[in-house]
Each structure stands twice: as structure tokens, then as C-alpha cells.
Amino acid sequence: MQRVGDDKWRVGVAEMQGYRTSMEDAHQVLLSLPSHPHLTFVGVYDGHNGSAAAEWMAANMGSRLSKLDDPTDPVQLREAIEQADADFCSNEQLRAHGSTACIALINNQGQKKTLTVANVGDSRCLVIGRDGNVKFTTIDHKPEDAAELARIYAAGGSVSFGRVDGDLAMSRSIGDYAYKSVAHRGQLEQRVIPSPDVSVVELDPTDIILVCCDGLLEKLTNEQLADFLTDRLNEAMMKAHGEGENSQSSRSKSKSSNGTNGKTDDGDKSETQDHGVDPAEIVASLIDHSLHRGSKDNMSAALLLPMDGSAYTRADEYILGPYLLWQNNNTFANAYLSDARKHGLDEEEVLRRLRSGEGTMKTNAEPRNTDDGDEDDDDDDDDEGMSEAEAQAAADNIKILLGSGFGAGLGSGS
């Protein structure tokens, strides 16, 4: 999890590898875009066929947009993303990799903040009002859409099972050069193109913004996602205000707050001063919720709250996922240990954390307790720490894997 903030925004980011054997998502947050300090920048990139395209976008787009005269100008923004794709596709070693791009730029000048969003593919940006209503969402680029379908067939492609040539699930992306290589066709005439849709949204003072990959939405609608986030946010705000769990419902509380221009019931405390509210924890609980609802994809999301985040920035946090249930699956164990090493954990630290109960099915939330009518609302007794026997079994398993070449080099740390 990543936590950053300034006097205008509190930004929490969470990502989860999930059931995949590698992490192909990437993101970047810049509270003040270089050369344009009035702009807040967030980019989420969902990679496929490898992580290179997503990582390249995360490493380069912020600095590229900073060089523009006006990064929020739709024409300049669109051209910058198209040029980024052309530059990435010029690298023959990497261009088979692909990625979505969902870029949010917030202009913090003026009486009302404005949001400019550029999206390529099926990652998504949502603006959610404090009453829980989805006020804006980007539209995914799907091959079955009429304009996309016409272009794909004109370029010699086909669409089957909702995928370009039966394979790629989106009709626009960064990279994926195999779908962009018809010699006599220009960049925007290929089966798959990098051109983003650009939207400009005027923000209300209490609007929250979510930028996320499609893994979060595999089993959730926009409305379900917004309801979950709003409920978690209101719960966090009530705790920050010392109201406890027996106060009025979060949804009615939200409407009461809106009716008093963002003031809470104490009359002198603005919602922008809720120092105990942690968007990283909230979005992590959303990812847990999506996982338990059945999402099998990598998941990444950035949640932006219009609150004073001057004291919010801190070191990134890495939380282990469950290990015991699948420890005898070598593919899983290798991916688990490799991801831990990538984040600087050696096997001794992994074991210490597992013994403490960190690597359980529940971390930041209790996602099975939903109000959606599902019957699977029972709590499992899997959030206790490991027993000594279980810890020894995990230790033996890790040692066997390391001795067999799995997770090679893990013990060296990083």
C-alpha cells in the first residue's frame, strides 16, 4: 500500500497480485506534476502478456505530460499518449507486452477543481459523490462496440468471444504491437489503437475519485463498488469523530453532511480535517472484497479523498497474503516468495509475519460480511496466527522450495 498527501488531497493506493503468478499492474502518483504544480497526477496501468508496457508507462508518463504546455488540454493529452505508444512500440524487445492506461489530472486552481481523465482500454476512473452516487465513469474500450468493431474488421481483424482475433479483450491499448503492424495503415487505423477518450469533469468539494484496473470490477458493478467505498469511508469518518458504531447509518450521515456544506454534526469540523481516515486501508478493503467475490485478476486502485493529507505520507506497506492453504502448490509458493523478495522480505521475515497471523484470508477488512444477500457471510477462523506445528510446516516447505531452486536468492533480501 502507498500513502501520500498534501494540503488538498489524501491519496491511498493498494495493489494485490491475487491469483496470478506475476504482478503486471503498475501505477504512479504525483501530488504536484513537475512544471505544473497546480496539477495532481495519478496513472493506473493494467498490463497483459507481461509487465513491461505497464511499467514503462508508470515510469514515463508523468514526466512526459509535465513537458506539455497544458497537460489538461484534450488534444495535447491525446497526442502525448499516442506518441508514448509509438515510442514504446519502437522497442522490438518489449512491444509484444500490452497495457491499459487510465490517467487522472486534477486542476487544483480556481474555485472549483476540475478532473481531466484519459483512458485507453478497460481500466476505469470513477467520480463518486458523498451520497454514494456514481457521478462519472469512463467507458471501457470493448471490441464489440460499433465503432471499434468497424475499425477492427477494416484492418483485417475479427472479433470472437468479445476479443480481438479471439484473444485481446480490449480494442485500445498501449503496446500489443502484433495488432498494430499492418504496414499500409496508420496508427489510428489498426485493429487495436492507443488513442484515449478524454473527459473533463467539474468536481464538487466532497467528491472522491477512484482510478482502478478492471480486476476490481470482475465481480462488482460501478454502483456496488461505490456503495462499498462510501460505506467504508463513512465508517472511518465516524470513528475519526468518535461517534462509534451505534450512531445513525452511514448513508444518512453522508446526506446530513452534504446538507451542511461538508460540516459534521459538531458544527466546526470540516470533513477535510478527518486525520484518522486512511484511503489506503479503504481501498485495500475494497480489493479484499473483490477477491472474495471471485476476482482472479491482479488488482490495483488509487483512491483520492479531498482531505488535508499534509501529515498522511509515510513509507509504503507490504502485507502478506494467505500461505498455508496453497503452500504445497509449487507454482503458488514460488510466486509468493518471489513477490515477497521483490518487496524486500527474506524468508525469515516471511515466516515471522506468517507466525503473527498476517498471512491469513482476512487482512484489512471482513469482505464476506456484505449486505448483498449472499449466503456466504460466515466468518472463518483463519485470522488467528499460525500454530507452532503450522509454522514449522511452513518453514519446512519454504526451505524445501528454496533448496529446489524455487524463490532462488530470496534469502539475500533487497
Q: pLDDT tens digits, the chain, 414 residues: what are they?
A: 999 999 999 999 999 998 888 899 999 999 999 999 999 999 999 999 999 999 999 999 999 999 999 999 999 999 999 999 999 999 999 999 999 999 999 999 988 999 999 999 999 999 999 899 999 999 999 999 999 999 999 999 999 999 999 999 999 999 999 999 999 999 999 999 999 999 999 999 999 999 999 999 999 999 999 999 999 999 998 888 775 444 333 333 333 333 333 333 333 333 444 568 999 999 999 999 999 999 999 999 999 999 999 999 999 999 888 777 777 778 888 888 888 888 888 888 888 888 777 765 443 333 333 344 443 444 444 445 566 676 666 666 666 665 544 443 333 332
121 and 217 within one domain: yes
Give the span between the Cα atoms of 364 and 100, in whole angstroms: 27
In a domain? residue 196: yes
pTM over 0.75: yes
From the CB of residue 67, how many other CB atoms can be counted at a distance below 10 Å?
Answer: 11
Residues 142 and 264 in one domain: yes
Within 8 A by CB and 6+ apart from 191, the residues are 151, 152, 155, 156, 157, 164, 165, 171, 179, 180, 182
User: Same domain, yes or no, for 295 and 168?
Assistant: yes
Last residue of a domain, one of 275, 305, 335: 305
- Asked if residue 298 and residue 350 are part of one domain, the reply reads no
Look up the CATH number of the domain holding residue 69: 3.60.40.10
In 280-368 the beta strands, taken as DSSP E runs, fall at 299-305
Whether 316 is covered by a domain: the verdict is: no
Q: What is the pLDDT of residue 155?
A: 95
Cβ-contact 327, 347 below 8 angstroms:
no
Asked whether residue 192 is domain-assigned, the answer is yes
233 and 292 housed in the same domain: yes
Contact indicator for 58, 43 with CB cutoff of 8 Å: yes
Residue 46 lies in a domain: yes
Is residue 318 in a domain? no
Are 126 and 57 found together in one domain? yes
* The predicted structure's pLDDT at residue 400: 64
Number of domains in the chain: 2
Do 295 and 330 lie in one domain? The reply is no
Alpha carbon 182 to its chain centroid, in Å, reads 33
State the residue range of the domain holding 375: 324-412
**Residue-level pLDDT at 388:** 66
CB 50 within 8 A of CB 84: no
Q: How high is the pLDDT of residue 334? A: 82
Report yes or no on 408 lying in a domain: yes
Are 287 and 331 found together in one domain? no
In-domain check, residue 313: no
Residues 286 and 330 placed together within one structural domain of the fold = no
The three cell numbers of residue 272 are: 477535510
Q: Are residues 250 and 369 in the same domain?
A: no
Q: Is residue 382 part of a domain?
A: yes
In terms of domains, do 301 and 328 share one? no
Cβ atoms of residues 82 and 172 within 8 Å: no
Domain boundary, last residue among 240, 271, 305? 305
Question: Domain check: are 289 and 259 in the same one?
Answer: yes
Of 305, 332, 365, which closes a domain?
305
